[in-house]
Amino acid sequence: MFWRKWPALNSKNLPPLVLLHGGFGSWTHWIANIEYFACNRDVIVPDLPGLGSSATPPIPHTVEGLSKIISDGLGLVLAGRNNFHLVGFSFGGLLGSAVAVAQGACCKSFVAVGASGFGKLHNVIDGLILPGPNWTEEERRKAHLRNLELLMIKETKNIDELAVYCHDSNIHHARMKSRKMSLSDGFFQNLPNIRSRVGGIWGEFDSTAGGEKLISLRRDIIHRHDPSSLFQIISGAGHWVMYETPSIFNKTLNSMILHYESSL
């Protein structure tokens, strides 16, 4: 696995923050958030197995197998530190739930962001286009704009050139297919075995969520596991909530982490 680490600019000896990106993605899913959190704590962002710069994992690709690779690697990267906060986006939320289980008490909080793994609650998006190897740059760009609009970002005006570039690069480097795993109920199954505090952040218009009613159902599921859990729906945002509304997202997540730290 390929791991990136941003040391805290102002060392306050706070637990590091580990960010897991989504399917067909890379560390760049968090490109609008890393600098904010690295002001006060170390930020660790891997490329998931088979995505970005990380090597392709052995077949079969399963949540159990992939999460073990991540958890084992995290143990090495943390180099003996026994406390951290974990955040998982989309498919990374599903894998993150398994990593949180494996890490036990070392994981102080786990925040799911538009996480998959809720089984029948998952809304499947039709019409996504995978660019062909012989497509022109303009054809690829149009396809990515379409996909970002359908899947990732609610407001077209928020799809900038950086979003298109990141999406194009991520799709190009993706070798591990996660859709089948995302449609499972793995998050729901892992939840009872997570020892840390658990929270959630969803965009109001998350395309994978199936509407605010089903987002609220996810909130209720998490709340039943952790009655004092924090859960926030960010108005006007789509699935890639931390990119589309970075300022609101960063403040929301930071508030959750600080709350969980104060209650440890």
pLDDT at 193 over 80: yes
DSSP tally for the chain: helices H, then strands E: 10, 7
pLDDT tens, 74-96? Answer: 999 998 888 999 999 999 999 99
Helix (H, G, I), strand (E, B) or coil at 98: helix
* Contact yes or no for 25/51 (Cβ under 8 A): yes
* Contact yes or no for 84/104 (Cβ under 8 A): no
Contacts with 226 (C-beta within 8 Å, 6 or more apart), sequence order: 197, 198, 199
Dihedral, CA atoms, 92, 71, 73, 12, nearest 10 degrees?
A: 80
Helix (H) or strand (E) holding 233: strand 231-234
pLDDT tens, 26-85? Answer: 999 999 999 999 999 999 999 999 999 999 999 999 999 999 999 999 999 998 888 999
CATH no., domain 2-123+177-262: 3.40.50.1820
